[in-house]
């Protein structure tokens, strides 16, 4: 047994929680081994249908980008094909995934404003072969204005994603599409809300955490009423939790009282490794897999994945998810005609109401 990871794991199995392995360093090593050897572990279960999740909160600095990146990497590391779409002109998601986003790089701007297909602007990432990314360049800053005169301007992203899912061979279709929104409620965020089935709201465990959330929720209601009947808030993720402060607990309790089961049990701690990782063009899972931040994001992604299993299979207007890599042969694709959303036909609700 020459592989050090293998050796460490078998030692840990033998000495579980006792003796020399019951130290902070050994625990960190064990966590790192778990994350680094994700491929050897049980893959996360595939969702009942492709999940298009919009990560939104009009407040800046609450962990939208960090959560999109790290949940995306965790889902991919544990076997689920994931596409991350950067919809913030700052391009921080692209940076954190090590994807080029200088002016001129094929990006989400080209898909929204010009007529590039999503496939043409999708880039591989180094984090995982199952993770791809559509980057955002600074050009996107002008898109809010440029889109104003475009036909069906709120539906641009949705159309783009639908066409992509329709075109791409079943074995390459993502199980998850995560969309990182800018910190505003403008036309870009609106596009993301029209494109998604679900909204994931990261909430920072700090003062004023809930401030402005009412506005986001009423915007989601408006979108549901007029543009996308299938959208709803499915997930709340508590971020930057600092266990040393009473305030963090108070905010977490308040959020749980208000949103109940929507709140993931996994909480993301404030952890310096999380904030360092993007500087190296990495997620925290690859930058420091033994950190508490990495473990928390794996836990959150696992919970997200398990919640997705019960979702109803794709309605006729959408496509079925591909199988996980280890699973049985793919089901036949749905009839082509059923996949195309017509201009005048309102999209069928894609969300299952239990
Ligand atoms: N769990 C965390 N621990 C420490 N720093 C964090 C954590 N999550 C995010 N950050 C840092 O907080 C800042 C804002 O996070 P970010 O994800 O960019 O927020 P948003 O996309 O909502 O504006 C970034 O500098 C990021 O590195
Ligand atoms: Mg951001």
What does pTM read for this prediction? 0.84
Q: pLDDT tens-digit profile of 211-235?
A: 889 999 999 999 999 999 999 999 9
Whether 194 and 160 have beta carbons less than 8 Å apart is answered as no
Lowest-confidence segment of 95-99, 108-112, 275-279, 313-317 by average pLDDT: 313-317
- Taking the C-alpha atoms of residue 235 and residue 254, their distance in angstroms, rounded to an integer, is 16
User: SS3 of 134, please?
Assistant: strand
283 lines ligand 1 (CB under 6 A): no
User: SS3 of 233, please?
Assistant: strand
With the most atoms of ligand 1 within 8 angstroms of its CB, the residue from 59, 61, 181, 294 to mutate is: 61
Cα of 88 vs centre of ligand 1, distance in Å, is 14
Strand 131-134 versus strand 123-124 pairing type: antiparallel
Q: Can you give the pLDDT at residue 281?
A: 94
- Taking the C-alpha atoms of residue 124 and residue 83, their distance in angstroms, rounded to an integer, is 9
Cα of 169 vs centre of ligand 1, distance in Å, is 35
- Taking the C-alpha atoms of residue 284 and residue 292, their distance in angstroms, rounded to an integer, is 10
Mean pLDDT computed over every residue of the chain: 85
Find all residues with CB under 8 Å of 159, minimum gap 6, and list them: 152, 341
Cα of 10 vs centre of ligand 2, distance in Å, is 40
Mean pLDDT of 274-297: 96
Whether 79 and 120 have beta carbons less than 8 Å apart is answered as no
pLDDT confidence bin for 210, thresholds 50/70/90: confident
| Higher-scoring residue by pLDDT: 172, 344 | 172
First-to-final CA distance of the chain: 49
Mean pLDDT of 241-249: 93
DSSP 170-213: GGG--SEEEEEPPSS-SHHHHHHHHH-SEEEEEEESSTTTTTTH
pLDDT confidence bin for 67, thresholds 50/70/90: very high
270 lines ligand 1 (CB under 6 A): yes
Cα of 275 vs centre of ligand 1, distance in Å, is 6
Nearest CA to ligand 1 atom 9: 63
Which of the given ranges, 31-35, 39-43, 242-246, 345-349, has the highest pLDDT on average? 242-246
Q: pLDDT tens-digit profile of 68-110?
A: 999 999 999 999 999 999 999 999 999 999 999 999 999 999 9
- All structural domains of the chain, each given as residue ranges with its CATH number in brackets, are 38-322 (3.40.50.300)
């Amino acid at each position: 047994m020459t592989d050090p990871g293998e050796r460490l794991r078998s030692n840990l199995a033998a000495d579980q929680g006792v003796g020399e392995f019951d130290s902070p360093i050994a625990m960190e090593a064990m966590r790192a081994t778990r994350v680094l050897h994700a491929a050897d572990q049980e893959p996360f279960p595939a969702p009942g249908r492709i999940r298009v999740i919009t990560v939104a909160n009009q407040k800046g600095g609450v962990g939208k980008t960090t959560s999109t990146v790290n949940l995306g990497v965790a889902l991919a590391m544990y076997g689920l094909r994931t596409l991350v779409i950067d919809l913030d002109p700052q391009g921080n998601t692209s940076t954190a995934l090590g994807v080029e986003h200088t002016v001129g790089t094929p990006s989400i701007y080209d898909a929204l404003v010009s007529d590039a297909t999503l496939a043409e602007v999708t880039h591989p990432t180094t984090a995982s072969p199952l993770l791809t990314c559509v980057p955002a360049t600074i050009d996107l800053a002008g898109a809010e204005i440029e889109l104003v005169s475009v036909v069906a301007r709120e539906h641009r992203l949705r159309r783009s994603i639908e066409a992509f899912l329709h075109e791409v061979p079943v074995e390459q279709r993502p199980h998850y599409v995560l969309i990182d929104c800018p910190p505003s409620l403008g036309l870009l965020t609106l596009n993301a809300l029209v494109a998604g089935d679900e909204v994931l709201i990261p909430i920072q465990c700090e003062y004023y955490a809930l401030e402005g959330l009412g506005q986001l929720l009423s915007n989601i209601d408006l979108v549901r009423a007029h543009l996308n009947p299938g959208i709803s808030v499915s997930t709340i993720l508590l971020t930057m939790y600092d266990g040393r402060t009473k305030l963090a607990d108070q905010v977490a309790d308040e959020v749980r009282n208000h949103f109940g089961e929507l709140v993931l049990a996994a909480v993301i701690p404030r952890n310096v490794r999380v904030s360092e990782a993007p500087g190296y063009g990495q997620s925290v899972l690859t930058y420091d897999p033994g950190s508490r931040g990495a473990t928390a994001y794996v836990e959150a992604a696992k919970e997200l994945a398990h919640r997705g299993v019960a979702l109803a299979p794709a309605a006729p207007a959408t496509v079925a998810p591909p199988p996980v890599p280890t699973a049985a042969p793919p089901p036949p694709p749905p009839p082509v005609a059923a996949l195309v959303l017509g201009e005048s036909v309102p999209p069928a609700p894609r969300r299952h109401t239990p």
